[in-house]
Structures are given as structure tokens and as C-alpha cells.
Structure 1
């Protein structure tokens, strides 16, 4: 499994993109633990990705209050 973290992206469509638009949902870092605890969040890969993102983000931005 690979996790790619991209920052400062802008929306753009390319040929071959999904026929249905994907929904983007912004979640504050302070709410990630609530999202992880929610039964509707998804499977183990999504949960693992959330944990990895949170830990990676916090290690790079240690001045952020969590």
C-alpha cells in the first residue's frame, strides 16, 4: 500500500477521469480521530491512511496544537 500526500493542489479534469465527479471533503486535523472512530469511515486501508497522514503531518508541523 502506498500513501501519497499532495499539498496545494487545484481542481482540473483530464481525459480518462472518472465519469462521476469525486467529492472532496475537508476535515480539520483536530477531527481526524473522530473520523477514525466513525463506523462509516471505511475499510482498514482508509483507516491506516488516516493514521499515517496524521502522524506524518504532525511530525512535519510540530508547532500545530493537536
Structure 2
């Protein structure tokens, strides 16, 4: 899978939503905000939305060892 250079605000948005999901506290607004931000990034970068979403989830949920945190 391709690696993306995600902006810090998108990484933070996904990280916050992921933490809330793990705690059983994810709201519909949080999920919608992440969904919208992923779509906007994908459109701006001219990339398939699904690839962007999968890459973002991987970056937040399974960071590479030694990767700097945003």
C-alpha cells in the first residue's frame, strides 16, 4: 500500500476519533468530521478515497517503529 504524507491536523483528527472509538465514546459528529476530512484530502491530492482512509488508519493505528508522532 502506498504511503501518504498526511497533514498533522488530519492525523490528529483520526487519532482522537480512534481513541474515542476504543473507549466506546465515538460520536457521530467525530466520525462524520473524519469522513469529511478524508474525502477533502483525497480530492485535493487526487487519490482514491478508500486508499487514503486505509493509509490514515494504518498510520494512526499501526505506526511504523521509530516513526515520529505528529
Higher helix share: 2
Check whether TM > 0.5. Answer: no
TM-score (norm 1): 0.36
Q: Which has the larger radius of gyration?
A: 1
Which structure has more relative contact order (CA 8 Å, sep 6+)? It is: 2
